[in-house]
Amino acid sequence: MKAHTEYLIFNTKEKIEFLNITDTIEGLITKSGVKEGLCLVSAMHITASVFVNDEEEGLKNDFKKWLEELVSDNKKYFHNLTGENNASAHLKRTIMGREAVLAVTKGKLDLGPWEQIFYGEFDGRRPKRVIVKITGE
């Protein structure tokens, strides 16, 4: 069994951004030499997310609008009484998820026809890490 670990660092320009990282993950799978296995991609910060969906600008805007309606930055949160001001980012991360576990088949990501991997940032403008762990044969 092979195992390969890499850390990616993202520092977004905006507070909320969705970055398509599919090509980066494909490159890491090639680098790993794993032909059949699994690839874990996980945000290592509690205000960021990794998720799989369609690469479509309207959909990304819909996510932003939907998340703001569910978890507005303007609401009063207990977490913000601790001196923090990012409770909404924590909640948005919980909604969008922390990680994706992806199949590797014949040395490539085995995604559906429209599936892409995204890094979701909800409290950006500072460096944050994502772990990529690829295991298999």
User: For 44-82, how does the pLDDT look when each residue is reduced to its tens digit (9 = 90+)?
Assistant: 999 999 999 999 999 999 999 999 999 998 889 999 999
Instruction: Please give the Cα distance from 64 to 84 (Å, whole number).
Output: 21
Buried b (16+ CB within 10 A) or exposed e, 84-112: eebbbbbbbbeebebbbebebeeeebebe
Quote the pLDDT of residue 73.
87
Strand segments, DSSP code E, in the chain are 2-10, 17-20, 36-43, 48-54, 99-105, 108-109, 115-121, 128-136
Query: Domain range spanning residue 125?
Result: 2-136
The mean predicted confidence, pLDDT, of the chain is: 97
Look up tokens 């599936």; give the residue: 115
CATH number of the domain that residue 113 is part of:
2.60.120.460
Look up tokens 């805007």; give the residue: 61
Total tally of structural domains belonging to the chain: 1
Instruction: Please give the Cα distance from 77 to 66 (Å, whole number).
Output: 18
